[in-house]
Amino acid sequence: MYCALRRPAILQHRLLVSVLLPSQRPARTIKTTEQNTGRHEQGKHRKLGLTVALTGVFGLLAYKQTLSNDDQHKAGNNNRWPHWPTVCAKTNPLSSTPKRSQRKDFNFIADAVEISAPAVVYLEIRDRQHVDFFTREPMTVSTGSGFIVESDGLILTNAHVVVSKPHTMVTVKLTDGRTFPGYVEHVDPASDLATVRVRCNNLPTLKLGHSADLRTGEWVVALGSPLALNNTVTAGVISTTQRPSQELGLRGKDINYIQTDAAITFGNSGGPLVNLDGEAIGINSMKVTSGISFAIPIDHAKEFLRKINEAPTGTERRSPSDVPTYRRYIGITMLSLTPEILGELQQRNHKFPPIVRGGVLVWKVIQGSPAYSGGLQPGDIITHINGKEIKNSSDVYELLLEQDKKLSISIYRGQQLTTVHVFPEDTTA
């Protein structure tokens, strides 16, 4: 009997194992007793069983030898024979454990917002001397943001948000939809900070961080209500940790602002600038252009709050009508165009007029103000007023002290030079 064993993947290897079985002689019919016949059959079965057993043993030995020779042949002829891909299915004992979502691991902005957003509020400033024609409600002249620093209803915001126009009232809207009248308690025009109080307890608060150890390039998140869109979030990095107010041409301020490329626009003013731990590290204050925005450091605001707490009860409390204002009012917030600011504007905005070498940038216009009625718009660059060259914001304030009833203001809007006429209001009337 011949048994040929071969391996399917290696055709060139074949081992023939030969096992000789007893020859089959022609059977003779022998009449004998029944006992002899049984013995003869048992002998035949024993021989056949032994033959099969030996065949299996030799076959197993030959197969193992073939595997050994095949491995040696592969090791010596790697360049001669092709490598056949091996597929191995292995059961992972941890496969039953669900994979952790990457949204949980890498959405660090969302984590910071989840912590800080509940304490951010929307501020609406209305003029009590003018009412809406349809609703008969006081007309909205400005919007802003703030954030709760004490659970009994103390809100921190910018001074220019709540006292930007005389005879106004403040309405505060929380993130849960509740609305309260706001009462301006403390105002510091020099630092552009103010506090507003609502009569409500157990409110969520925002933890105040530290601005002294901020690093350039650090991630920050700006929260607020730009263009009256509540609960808006933008993110960016810190461009500069200390930008002196003198470089911005801001009058009467001694603050080193935080510069960031996080989008801050109208309505964001007064809202928090938070770090990735969900801590307030600044108060959004102004936007110059896309990618250039400024915030008041939170350490400066902490000092403002400390002075409030140390002051005797009933002192330093001012209503909007009691806040010292300029004798004449046009209703704009402006920024002096220093050489540094001009350089950044020219790099970031290809529509910036190249002929401009100075002036002031209008970055906010109060709705319903003389400037609004005269046609001034955010982004306008004032170069001359009544023929006098304007180099910084101080020049504008000096002209407002004069008694001219009409101001002819030369502006660049984009790259087009035009003139608008503004009639200032007397805020003491």
Any idea which residues carry the catalytic annotation?
A: 160, 192, 269
CA distances from 7 to 11, 53, 119, 276 (A): 7, 22, 75, 64
Burial 303-318 (b: 16+ CB within 10 A, else e): ebbeebeeeeeeeebb
Beta strands in 314-429 (DSSP E): 328-329, 332-336, 360-365, 381-385, 388-389, 407-413, 416-422, 425-426
Place of tokens 């461009």: 239
User: Which of 304, 284, 159, 274 has its CA nearest to residue 206?
Assistant: 274
Is 380 within 8 Å of 407 (Cβ atoms)?
no
Query: Taking the C-alpha atoms of 128, 132, 135 and 141 in order, what is their torsion angle to the nearest 10 degrees?
Result: -60
Specify which residues 311 forms β-bridges with.
none
Question: How far from the centroid of its chain's Cα atoms is residue 306's Cα?
Answer: 31
- Dihedral sign of CA atoms 411, 416, 417, 423 in order: negative
CA atoms within 13 A on the CB side of 30: 10
Place of tokens 């992972």: 92
Cα distance between residue 55 and residue 5, in whole Å: 11
